[in-house]
Chains A and B, each alone.
Chain A
Amino acid sequence: MKAVLGLEDGTFFKGRGIGAEGTAGGELVFTTQYTGYEEALTDPSYRGQILMFTYPLIGNYGVRGETFQSDHMQAEGLVVREACDHPSHHNSQRSIYEFLEDEGKSGIMGIDTRMLTIKMREHGAMKAALLVGDDNGEEAVRLARKQPDIGSLDLIGKVTCKHPYQLKGHENGGNIVVMDFGVKRNILKSLNGRGLNVTVVPAATPAGEIMDYEPDALLLSNGPGDPQQAVNGISVVKELAGELPVSGICLGHQIISLALGAETYKMKFGHRGANQPVKDMKKGIVHITSQNHGYAVHPDSIDEKEIIITQLNANDRTVEGIEHRSLDISSVQFHPEANPGPLDTEKMFFDMVAGKTGKIIT
């Protein structure tokens, strides 16, 4: 099947189409993880983005579904050097080709993905459009240029749950409310696995309603797009700060930072992968983390009288974690729940997530 990927800079790349015929548009981003394509493609944080894997062979072990991070593929499209048509794994249910078709999503393979990575490293993440079933390069470029800025979109509204739902924990477990900006399933698993009763609420849920669940702690989830879009999230944190332990992951961390008066900015091409080194500023140890973000908290905007930067990225010294000096508020930019990626920080983060008073049953 014919396919072409067009970029806003006017270049286009012809390859072989996989998955559904049609078009896809969004911001082209790359991730450097080898494994975990199932988890990444179903991660709601990739909404609005066409996901490219730098590792050339994707789909080797097929698709199972057990580690999906949401019910469906969330990325707008897929770009790979080679998608595996004959996967091999004892748990595999279908190939990545079948998965794309089932999801009605398009992908392209056979193109020089390393060249595209270098392009993004040099020029930043780019608007892109993918045509499958057609290889009109000019058309792909035209569509790419028509894509809206990712920061202008209400992506959270597309991926948050419509209604609250609960995951029962241990009878003696604490109650935690998770604000769903596009939560990854493994965050809920990590909480629930510690015996916590988890209540997931839509992103627009006001503070008062959250308190009605009598939570012991509040967690702001990951999610797609610009944290400035999470207007309700920011005001909930402002209102509930000091009322109960508040923590956040990724977009949740950015929302908390905004609520505490810091600023966020769009990075050149973000951090996406399973090898990001994060230094714990208290202990000196470096952890390898899973990451997926295109925005970050501006370190100079953090009021260090109030807030401690607890974690720094060892590569580029971006802010990876903060803690309030007096209030029970902390958050991390990386993904301790992994899936995909290393589990090195899972225990460290989730054992503390219920705050100093929270009850965790393991």
Chain B
Amino acid sequence: MPKRTDLKKVLLIGSGPILIGQAAEFDFSGSQACRSLREEGIKVVLVNSNPATIMTDPDMADAVYIEPLEAEIVAKIIEKERPDGIIAGLGGQTGLNITIKLAEMGVLDKYNVELLGTSLQAIRDSEDRDLFKKKMESIGEKVPRSKAVNSLEEAEAMIGELGLPLIIRPAYTLGGAGGGIAHTREELIEITTRGLERSMIHQVLIEESVIGWKEFEYEVMRDRNDTCIVICNMENLDPMGVHTGESIVVTPSQTLSDTDHQRLRSTSIKIIRSLGIEGGCNIQFAERDGEVRIVEVNPRVSRSSALASKATGYPIARVTAKIAIGMALDEITNDITRQTPASFEPTIDYTVVKIPRWPFDKFVTADKHLTTAMKSTGEVMAIGRTIEEALMKALRSLDVDMFFGYREWSDDEIMDILRHPTHERLFVIYQALRNGMGTDEVSGITGIDRFFIRKIQNIIGMEDSIKDGLEVSNLREAKRMGFSDELIARLCRKTREEINDMRRDAGIVTTYKMVDTCAAEFAAATPYYYSTYEEQCEDIPTGNKKVLIIGSGPIRIGQGIEFDYCTVHAVTALRELGIETHIINNNPETVSTDYDTSDKLFFEPLGLEDVMNVIEKERPYGVMVQFGGQTSVNLAIPLKKELERRTDLDTIIIGTDPDDMDIAEDRERFNSMMDELGISQPDGGCATDYAGAFRKAQNIGYPVLVRPSYVLGGRAMEIVYDDKDLKRYLTEAVRVSKEHPVLVDDFLDNAVEIDVDAICDGKDVLIGAIMEHIEEAGIHSGDSACVIPPQSLNPEILSKVRDYVKKIALSLHVIGILNIQMAAKNGEVYVLEANPRSSRTIPFVSKATGLPLAKIAAKVMAGHTLAELGITGEPVMAHVSVKEVLLPFDKLPGADPLLGPEMKSTGEVMGIDYDFGRAFFKAQWSAGNQLPLTGTVFMSIRDEDKPLILGVAGKLQDAGMHLIGTRGTAKFLAGNGIKIDVIYKVSEGTPNVVDLVHEKKVNLIINTPTSKEAVKDGFQIRRTAVDFSVPYITTIQAAIAAADAISGMKNGNVTVKSIVEYHEGR
């Protein structure tokens, strides 16, 4: 059946901000779908609240709306755009949930919008636990015995029926949020309460435990001709009980026989047919010795389908979009071979290993156990010809200081982690094997198939062989097993350079193999490569001028999708200039690793060796390190040194010289540059011993900002308020010594923090935007909401900011992009840090101003001047853009939901409107923090903020809201003529604010904590707010903004306009 001619315009819903459980995969699938639909001549309207996505680039769709992903907003967009159809299954769970709401609200019927692809009934049959169970039973398939319940009483009754442990799964949530495994009645009550709260339909499923069974996933597609194909299957290393997003996953399955596999495959097809899904879907199975249970069906593209697409080369989202507009699988071309249709099953001749990336380095107090709820922020994928090779490459791709043997555990700890997995499990298994535990025993305790345990044993065997003596033969075998030069060097106590030279002398060089969907049966047209050590290399370099761009690896806190966005933009810009552009990256969720983003894609770890191997093969003219975040910046100096060492290579690092980048990273060099330029910085210095730290702190005056000098990205950074606090920091958090000095800086309390993104071509400096932070200085800039243009900075401050940016850019000899963080206080501007690389605010600035900064930077780095590019000056606009961040506290039980100098957010949203109040309101709304327009506000305000809270309270009172506060706050406000009721502090008894939140009698919490001590007292309030989804504010600046937003909304409604309409002033 050919594509339908009655469809002219289609609405696509994105998935919103990056959260735990929903990462960049939907930007990948959404942007692929946009291209897929537009190449069929269909107009695409797109809505997403996340500015850091490629799909929200103005040229990706015919109209792009960066608006809150709320049914009522999408309804307005439908009213305005009048699409013929809507595709639900491409925006993850968010897109699915909104589509259901739109249908239920009658919006789709009213405007005659057809739901394309998977039907509403199919969505309900797979998402509603009870309907799903009935459906599976009707086709004779088994699901774990279970019951959907809507109350605690019903949940408790299940203990008698199914016994403990029990699995609790909330209906319609992301990444299993709010679910868990209950081993006791108390746990059941706790998890069920949370789960009911979290579920869109206040329903959880209480399920028989299949913990310890093996878990398999099948990615299936179906078209309206009833053609069904399985794109690939996946085997989870971790057994049931660990969410598939938390599990190490291998593709294809390894331990299923053909009979087992065909049975699951046939069942998958039976399921997709019975549900009537048109497009892609994901089916999860539990299996034990031939017994099978169907765990779950996701009637949409998913994290797993993104992985399946990257693992096989088959573009699931692209094909799903075409199926939605009526095309049959055999009418769609396989874009990889360009000679066969999409109606086939990919087959691969390598193995793929995915490992999740967890944020536990950022959340020391969070529970690190892997459970049925997701905690990871991202993932890496690696391809190899053996499990060992793919596993070793995946481990390196994680970019963490963890490797086999990186630390030791006691016997008790080993047994505990084998039984109750944490993110360290793989390394613990390694040690257990090293300690002499048998593979069968490890397998028995962990539930991980001994096939995989055996592979770790093989790695140990290879390590021992190298320790016994390195020769060409075992060196070759080690390389084929995925060992890095560095690891081999460590094992035989040589240097990385020695190993590197030895293997190249022996002719052991990397070969690149192609990912082609068909195991080489057909010639492929798409250059997507992975490295291995075989005989034939399929990558044939062209004679063109080439540039290699280093990607940013897995999504993690501090290095999110923003850097993938920059990478993609840099590639696009260079390709526009006619330069052959290559990407090296390892994140399967992203657009940068889509097969048609670059001229060549190398799916590889981002180690020095891996990058050098590509350079050695391709001999590019240059490498760009500015776009991939800290991962690629950290490579700059080592890469420069290695390129100098390798006299046979002419490749250079393009853009700002790594030495100049180093000045910005090196505190002393940077300080002296600032002194020369006459630019102020906060007082501070370096302490190399305990007493010195106290002297420094006392000289500067508390509060001070302290951090170890050798750690980047705000890790272990804290604000300390007095000697006692500093003593605690120096004993518990870090050790100070000559080798590991501690930086002590004046903390500019109540200062306004400013972020600037700029581009310099060596002569001219373009200021992209000046951003004013809404949170005060001291909150990590990545966690702070910010606004363009600045709302409270006077012209003198702004001109000082511009002047400093220009001076710093030119002094650092920046060629390319630069981000500077500053703080303004009492009319003075202080420079906090300068980063000569792309920042996480680049996408936000680009969307706010319409100026594609990363593209401009890439062109400047390629040798063009700003003048040549016709970029004239800082953009001016009539609209206000607010960026707000998403915090993962609801996904991480035990973590303190308080902001500080260490970054904790996972993603961002943007609100645009014509005044600050409404833009802020939209941003908060998109961040899931919808500010109430009526109801009760609780306030507990520290003394120094009290003068400022008066205006906030006044505005809230005028907006008709009921105020309650703790004694001190209430007394102060009442004394100033505000009507406010007093309520107990948590420590004073009941009823207190926590009780009121439980009773749903509080709609907004404003709690600004005093010092480190009170911060801990406030923990319970903040945690309760998170658990019950009540918006909460912890800074006075945010409180002021919220009051503006609430009163702004009382006086007018939000604007709904496409991004181009804002930019063009329409």
Q: A13-B535, A284-B225 are in contact. Are A35 and B257 (CB under 8 A)?
A: yes
Q: Are A60 and B451 in contact (CB under 8 A)?
A: yes
Among B227, B261, B340, which residue has its beta carbon within 8 angstroms of that of A315? Answer: B340
Q: Are B451 and A113 in contact (CB under 8 A)?
A: no
Q: Are B341 and A277 in contact (CB under 8 A)?
A: yes
**In the complex, what distance in Å separates the CA atom of A67 from the CA atom of B451?**
21
Report the minimal beta-carbon distance from B802 to chain A, rounded to whole angstroms.
57
B377: CB under 8 A from chain A? no
Q: Are B519 and A81 in contact (CB under 8 A)?
A: no
Binds A, one of B346-354, B574-582, B757-765: B346-354
Interface centre among A55, A287, A316, A338, by most B CB within 10 Å? Answer: A55
B513: CB under 8 A from chain A? yes
Binds A, one of B145-153, B262-270, B728-736: B262-270
Contacts of B451 in A (CB 8 A): 60, 84, 86-88
Q: A277-B344, A343-B262 are in contact. Are A57 and B454 (CB under 8 A)?
A: no
Contacts of A34 in B (CB 8 A): 252-253, 261, 347
B1045: CB under 8 A from chain A? no
Contacts of A89 in B (CB 8 A): 255, 257
24 intermolecular pairs with C-beta atoms under 8 Å apart? A35-B261, A54-B519, A55-B519, A56-B385, A64-B257, A82-B385, A82-B386, A114-B534, A114-B536, A115-B534, A115-B536, A277-B343, A277-B345, A285-B226, A286-B330, A288-B230, A288-B344, A315-B341, A315-B344, A316-B340, A338-B262, A340-B262, A342-B262, A343-B266
A112: CB under 8 A from chain B? yes
Q: Are A90 and B290 in contact (CB under 8 A)?
A: yes
Report the minimal beta-carbon distance from B213 to chain A, rounded to whole angstroms.
13
B522: CB under 8 A from chain A? yes
Q: Are B535 and A115 in contact (CB under 8 A)?
A: yes
Among B255, B260, B346, which residue has its beta carbon within 8 angstroms of that of A275? Answer: B346
A330: CB under 8 A from chain B? no
Main secondary structure of the interface of A (DSSP, over half): loop
Q: Are A117 and B289 in contact (CB under 8 A)?
A: no
Residue ID in chain B nearest A61 by CB atoms: B257
Q: Are A121 and B521 in contact (CB under 8 A)?
A: yes
Report the minimal beta-carbon distance from B686 to chain A, rounded to whole angstroms.
53
* Size range of the chain A interface in the assembly: 35 or more
Q: Are B454 and A284 in contact (CB under 8 A)?
A: no
B259: CB under 8 A from chain A? yes
A215: CB under 8 A from chain B? no
Q: Are A90 and B330 in contact (CB under 8 A)?
A: no
Report the minimal beta-carbon distance from A76 to chain B, rounded to whole angstroms.
21
**In the complex, what distance in Å separates the CA atom of A121 from the CA atom of B439?**
40
**In the complex, what distance in Å separates the CA atom of A284 from the CA atom of B385?**
37
B256: CB under 8 A from chain A? yes
Contacts of B1 in A (CB 8 A): 284
Report the minimal beta-carbon distance from B455 to chain A, rounded to whole angstroms.
9
Among A33, A56, A341, which residue has its beta carbon within 8 angstroms of that of B350? Answer: A56
Contacts of B265 in A (CB 8 A): 342
Interface centre among B255, B257, B260, by most A CB within 10 Å? Answer: B257
B927: CB under 8 A from chain A? no
Residues 40-69 of A, flagged 1 when their CB comes within 8 A of B and 0 if not, give 000000000000001111001100100100
Residues 113-144 of A, flagged 1 when their CB comes within 8 A of B and 0 if not, give 11101100100000000000000000000000
Q: Are B340 and A91 in contact (CB under 8 A)?
A: no
Contacts of B346 in A (CB 8 A): 275
Q: Are B518 and A32 in contact (CB under 8 A)?
A: yes
Residues 446-487 of B, flagged 1 when their CB comes within 8 A of A and 0 if not, give 000111001000000000000000000000000000000000
Q: Are A57 and B387 in contact (CB under 8 A)?
A: yes
**In the complex, what distance in Å separates the CA atom of A38 from the CA atom of B257?**
9
Residues of B within 8 Å of A, CB-based: how many? 56
Q: In chain A, residues 185-224, which have Cβ atoms closer than 8 Å to a Cβ of chain B?
A: none
Give me 6 other A-B pairs in contact (C-beta within 8 A), A277-B345, A288-B230, A344-B228 excluded.
Answer: A33-B347, A84-B451, A275-B345, A283-B225, A284-B225, A314-B330
Contacts of A184 in B (CB 8 A): none
Report the minimal beta-carbon distance from B922 to chain A, rounded to whole angstroms.
46
Interface centre among A87, A111, A113, A114, by most B CB within 10 Å? Answer: A114
A39: CB under 8 A from chain B? yes
Q: In chain B, residues 257-305, which have Cβ atoms closer than 8 Å to a Cβ of chain A?
A: 257-262, 265-266, 269, 289-290
Among A55, A286, A340, which residue has its beta carbon within 8 angstroms of that of B348? Answer: A55
Contacts of B351 in A (CB 8 A): 56-57
10 smallest A-B Cβ distances: which pairs? A36-B258, A115-B536, A275-B345, A88-B451, A112-B535, A54-B519, A35-B258, A112-B534, A117-B520, A286-B343
**In the complex, what distance in Å separates the CA atom of A341 from the CA atom of B534?**
29
B229: CB under 8 A from chain A? yes
Residue ID in chain A nearest B233 by CB atoms: A34
A279: CB under 8 A from chain B? yes
B525: CB under 8 A from chain A? no
Contacts of A338 in B (CB 8 A): 262
Contacts of A342 in B (CB 8 A): 262, 265-266, 345
Residue ID in chain B nearest A340 by CB atoms: B258
A339: CB under 8 A from chain B? yes
Report the minimal beta-carbon distance from A274 to chain B, rounded to whole angstroms.
8
Report the minimal beta-carbon distance from A222 to chain B, rounded to whole angstroms.
17
**In the complex, what distance in Å separates the CA atom of A285 from the CA atom of B228?**
9
Q: Are B225 and A117 in contact (CB under 8 A)?
A: no
Contacts of B387 in A (CB 8 A): 57
Q: Are B225 and A32 in contact (CB under 8 A)?
A: no
B418: CB under 8 A from chain A? no
Report the minimal beta-carbon distance from A227 to chain B, rounded to whole angstroms.
23
Q: In chain B, residues 414-462, which have Cβ atoms closer than 8 Å to a Cβ of chain A?
A: 439, 449-451, 454
**In the complex, what distance in Å separates the CA atom of A55 from the CA atom of B518?**
11
**In the complex, what distance in Å separates the CA atom of A284 from the CA atom of B331?**
11
Residue ID in chain A nearest B345 by CB atoms: A275
A311: CB under 8 A from chain B? no
Interface centre among A56, A113, A288, by most B CB within 10 Å? Answer: A56
Q: Are B330 and A277 in contact (CB under 8 A)?
A: yes
Q: Are A121 and B522 in contact (CB under 8 A)?
A: yes
**In the complex, what distance in Å separates the CA atom of A71 from the CA atom of B347?**
29
Q: In chain B, residues 483-532, which have Cβ atoms closer than 8 Å to a Cβ of chain A?
A: 513, 518-523
Report the minimal beta-carbon distance from B1012 to chain A, rounded to whole angstroms.
52
A273: CB under 8 A from chain B? yes
Among A61, A283, A315, which residue has its beta carbon within 8 angstroms of that of B255? Answer: A61
Contacts of A38 in B (CB 8 A): 257-258
**In the complex, what distance in Å separates the CA atom of A89 from the CA atom of B261?**
13
A70: CB under 8 A from chain B? no
